[in-house]
Chain A
Amino acid sequence: MIKIEKRNDVSRSIYFLTPVLAIFLTLFGGGIIFYILGFNPIEALKFFFITPISDLYGLSELLVKATPLCLIAIGLSFCFKSNNWNIGAEGQLIFGGIVGGGVALLFYNHGGFYVLPIIILSGAIGGMLFAMIPAILKTYFNTNEILVSLMLVYVAKLLLDYLVVGPWSNPEGFNFPETRQFSESARMPILFDGLRIHAGIFITLITVFLSWLILYKTYLGFQIKVSGLSLKTAKYAGYKGKTMIIIVFMISGACAGLAGVGEITGPIGQLHRNISPDYGFTAIIVAFLGRLNPVGIIFASLIVALTYLGAETAQIFLQVPKYTGQVFQGMILFFLLGSDYLLFFKIKFLGLKKNEL
C-alpha cells in the first residue's frame, strides 16, 4: 500500500539537488533515444557533452552561448518569482536587437568610445519598452500576459524581417536579407585573440550581481517574493500590484534587450533574420533549472548552453539534425518539473493493515 502525503515544509537541500537529478535523468533518457536511433549511446553522449568543451575554443563558445541565456533567465526570474508569465523574452530580445542595431547603423560613420554604450543602452530600453506592452495590457485591461507576450514574439520577428529585407538592408549587399556590418566602435570588445568570447559576459555578471542585490536585499525584492507566494497576502499587505507587475516586466525586458544587443554587437556584428537561436525560449528552461536563483541560473545557463554546442558537434559527427539539442532541453524541463513532486509530496510505503484485507 502506497500512501502519498503533502509535505509541510520543503527541504532546501532537496530543492537544489533535484535539478542535478533532472540532469542525470536527461542524460539517461538521451542515451536511450540515441540507442533507439542506432547510435552507441556512450559515444553519442560523449560527442554531445564532452567533445564540444574539450578545448579552449569550445570553452569560449560555451561562455558565448551562456552569456545571453543567463542574462535573459535572470530577468525572467523576476517575472516568474512574482507569478507573471512572461514567455515572450524572445520577442523582447529581437526588439532590443532591432533598436540597438538601428542606433548602430545610425552611428555607422561615427567613431568613439561613446558609441557602444549608447547602442547597449538603447537595446536595453527597446527590450524594456517591448515588455511593457504585455505588462500594461495585463494591469489595465486584464489581458493574459502569456498570450500577449507570445504573440509579440512573432510581431518582433516579422518586423526584423521587414527591416533587413527592406529599408535597412545593406546597399552593397546584393539584396541579401542583412544590414551592413557595424563599424568597429559599435562592436563588443573581444576578450582574447582568436576566441569569440566578448565583453558582454561582464554585462551578464554585473546583472546577476545587481539582481541578487535587488531580490535579496531590497524591499522591492521582498514584495516580489511575497506576491509570488501568495497574492492574497500581498494585497493584504497593501503592495501596489500594478506597479510591481510593470517593474518586473521592465526588468526582464531590459535583460532580454541587453542579450539581443549583446548578440548583434558581439558574435554577429550586423542584423539579419536569425539573430537568436530561440535563446528567449530556452532561457525559460534556464530560469527553472536554476531555481530562479541568481547563482543557480549561472550554472543552469552553462549546462543549457552545452546542449546548443553539443547539437552542433553532434550534427557534424553523428549527422543528427541541429534540433537535437531541443530534445535534451525539453527533457531537462520535463524531468525537473516531474521531480518537483518529490519536493511537495512524500511517498510512504506502508504494509497492508489487517482491516484492509
Chain B
Amino acid sequence: MNFDLNFIGILIGAIMASSVPLILAASGELIAERSGVLNLGVEGMMIIGAISGFALMIVTDNLFFAVIGSMLSGLIISLIFGLLTQSLLTNHVATGLALTIFGIGMSAMIGKNFVGIPGKEFPLLLDNLKESIPFLGPIFFGHSIILYFAFGLPFLTNYFLKKTKTGLIIRAVGDSPTSASNQGINVTLVRYSCILYGGAMCGLAGAYLSLIYTPQWIENMTGGRGWIALALVVFATWSPIKVLIGALIFGGITILQLHMQAAGLRIPVQLLSALPYIMTIIVLVVISRDSRKIKLNTPTSLGQIFYKEK
C-alpha cells in the first residue's frame, strides 16, 4: 500500500462518493421519521429510483430528465406508502416492508431490457483541478453535482428543522400529533408531505448509484444500502449533522474494506463488512439504555397510527 498524501486524498474522495446515497436516503427518511412516520421502504424506493433514473437516461439521453424522473418515481412509489399508512391507517412496519419487497420486484421487471447496457457519462465538476492540486484536488473537485448537493443537504435539513416554522410544525407533529392537531395543524397532510419528500430523496439516492457510482443497471443493485440508511437515522439519533458523520464512517468502512482486500491483509472481509451493522446495534444500545436520552431525541409518535375522529 502506498501512503503518500495524494493517495489519501483519492481515498477520502472515494469515501465521500460512497457515502452520498446513504446521506441522501437517510436525510429523506429523517424528515419522515421526525414527523412520526417509520418508513421501512427505503430500499424499495431507492431501487425504483435507480432503475427509473437509468432507464430515462438511456431513453431520453437527457441527464436532467433522468435525475428529476428518478426523484419523481421515488415520490410516486412512496405515495403508495402514504396512501396506506395515512389514509387507510395501516401498520407502518408491515407497509414499509411490503414497499421494499414490491420495489425490488418492480424494478427488476422494469429493468429487464436495461441489463447489460453501459451507462452514459455523467459530467464531473472541475475535473481538471482534481489532477493538478495534490491531496485537496481529489477531495474537493471532480465530483458530480449530486455529491455537492448531498453534502450540503444535512446542513440545510438541520436549519430547516430547527429554524423554520415548517420544521417546527414537522417536529410538533412527530412528537405529539394530538396536540398538533388541536392547534389546527393538518397532521395527515404534514405526514404525507414528509413521506413524499423522503421518497424523492431515496429516488435520488438510487439514481446516484445507477447513473454515477456504478453507471449501469444491475438487479438488486442497492444491495442493502437502504437498510443501512435506515440504521443511520437511528445511529445519528435523528440529527441531520450526525447523519453526515455516520454516512462517512459507513462509506469509509466500505472503501477501506475494498483496499484491504486489494492489499491482501489477513482480516476477513466479511468482518469488516459486518462492522457497520454491529456498530449500529452498539450505538442503539448506548442511546436507548438511558430512557431520558432516547426520549429527548426520538420522535415520540414514531411509527404510531394517527386517527382523528371526524
Contact = CB atoms under 8 A, between A and B. Distances in A.
Interface in B224-240: 224, 227, 230-231, 234
Contact of B97 (A33, A323, A333, A338): A333
B278 to A, nearest CB: 6
Given A323-B108, A325-B105, A337-B84, A142 B278 contact: no
B280 A320 contact: no
B18 interface: no
A330 B40 CA distance: 13
B309 A158 contact: no
Contact of B105 (A142, A326, A344): A326
A158 B89 contact: no
B102 A141 contact: no
Given A137-B285, A142-B288, A341 B274 contact: no
A331 B102 contact: yes
A321 B103 CA distance: 13
B104 A326 contact: yes
Given A148-B284, A154-B277, A334-B80, A288 B94 contact: yes
A324 interface: yes
Interface string A150-167: 111011001101100110
Interface string B106-149: 11110110000000000000000000000000000000000000
Contacts of B288: 141-144
A144 B108 contact: no
B156 interface: no
Contacts of B107: 323
A334 B98 contact: yes
Interface in B45-103: 80, 84, 88-91, 93-95, 97-103
A312 B102 CA distance: 17
Contact of A284 (B94, B99, B220, B274): B94
A324 B104 CA distance: 9
| Interface residue range, chain B | 35 or more
B182 interface: no
A128 to B, nearest CB: 19
Nearest to B303: A146
Interface string B295-310: 0000000000001011
A144 B284 contact: yes
B84 A338 contact: yes
B168 interface: no
Contacts of B230: 147, 150
Candidate in A151, A284, A321, A327 with the most chain B CB atoms within 10 angstroms: A151
A4 interface: yes
B193 interface: no
B112 A321 contact: yes
B262 interface: no
A340 B259 CA distance: 50
Contacts of B278: 151, 155
B88 to A, nearest CB: 4
Contacts of B307: 6
B270 A337 contact: no
A37 interface: yes
B268 interface: yes
Contacts of A146: 40, 93
A326 B220 CA distance: 12
A151 B280 contact: yes
Nearest to B302: A144
B95 A334 contact: yes
B281 A151 contact: yes
Contacts of A338: 84, 88, 90
A158 B289 contact: no
Contacts of A166: 268
Contacts of B274: 154-155, 158-159
A326 B273 CA distance: 26
Contacts of B273: 154, 158
A274 B99 CA distance: 23
Contacts of A148: 281, 284
B277 A151 contact: yes
A319 B113 CA distance: 10
Contacts of A33: 109
Contacts of A151: 227, 231, 277-278, 280-281
Given A151-B281, A281-B97, 4 more contacts: A154-B273, A282-B101, A337-B95, A340-B90
Interface of B: 40, 44, 80, 84, 88-91, 93-95, 97-109, 111-112, 219-220, 224, 227, 230-231, 234, 268, 270-271, 273-274, 277-278, 280-281, 284-285, 288-289, 291, 294, 307, 309-310
11 contacts: A142-B289, A143-B281, A161-B270, A323-B105, A323-B107, A326-B104, A327-B105, A327-B106, A330-B100, A330-B101, A333-B95
